[in-house]
Structure 1
């Protein structure tokens, strides 16, 4: 069955989802849980990004069958001298393994293509994060190879550089 999925712009009442995404199982490949103050700052950044024009990026709550199942976002960055978008996502453990992240990524690609100004969308999952790499593959990203990537700031690791071309 094809589960209906919606990307809902981040809102003030979505802070609870950041708390869920801050659990150790969800932050294993992201440098570990953040402090309460860091989460409040992240929430404010998400609200600010979602208040800007759609071409600058957006943070979304992923909703499937009426339930909030995770988040997905895209934002501007410069990568290898090109102005691109970067994306990242997280689906709560109880909703993983259903293809929802890949479906959300495909919806995000369509959104960025319709509203954005950049030609490429990149994702940089750790080479060791099999699930996120599988999402990239299933969503239609092309693997460009391994790269050294800094996230969170000060923590370098080997990531895969996945790229989707944004038609438009």
Structure 2
């Protein structure tokens, strides 16, 4: 997914930039419905020759921390293929190109945790593993929760748990 987010934070406006990388072209190594992997001969900021492989997800990653009135949060447990292990995580998913990430995360909260929320606050907008991928991830905190039906896709099997927020931070 291509995106431009070159706005400097206010605190960095008067700081100089380091020299940029220069791509000398690219070739597609893998192209799936979920990601594209590209290879780039490049020139590093130091002037050295480089060969870079970049994973380019086709979705914006989205996640939500559902905060209940009693101080618990809902987590989703599932086996993750890429990790080859079980993972407890916030409800998360992806927004395909053209879909508003906020609409996608609301959908994921219902599908995975069986919840809807009346209040939302944006919490994070990050470039993850930015030395090997251009993946963007956005996360929200949601509260004012109500139950709804879950709707996992054909590859998902979930467990859900409510955990005290303070226990997550311990």
Name whichever structure is richer in strand by fraction: 2
Under a length normalisation based on structure 1, what TM-score does the superposition of the two structures give? Answer: 0.27
If the length of structure 2 is used for normalisation, what is the TM-score?
A: 0.27
* Larger fraction in helix: 1
